[in-house]
Amino acid sequence: MTTFNTQDIRKQFGERVRYLRSNRELSQEDLAHLCNLDRSYIGGVERGQRNISLLNIKKIADALCVSPRELFDE
């Protein structure tokens, strides 16, 4: 079976969120506020510790003004 990247998808996703958030000069607290999620939850997502699901993926995508697709590496 093809595995496109052996790195944990949670880590990859978290790094992508951190990159896009920093690019927009938002703090974790800013992003948390925009998403209506907890700052510590955002921290956990960025560190790859959270198995985040679709509805929260959408909240983060909306807050960063990207499509959910753009939260995943190419």
Q: Which residues sit at the interface with a second copy, rule CB under 8 A?
A: 1-5, 9-10, 13, 34, 51-55, 57-58, 61-63, 65-69, 72-74
Closest CA to 66 of 36, 43, 35: 35
Q: Which is nearer to a second copy, 28 or 52 (CB)?
A: 52
In the complex, the smallest distance separating the C-beta of residue 42 from a second copy, rounded to whole angstroms, is 15
Q: Which is nearer to a second copy, 40 or 49 (CB)?
A: 49
Q: How far apart are CA 18 and CA 45, in angstroms?
A: 9
**Residue 63 has which token pair?**
């807050």
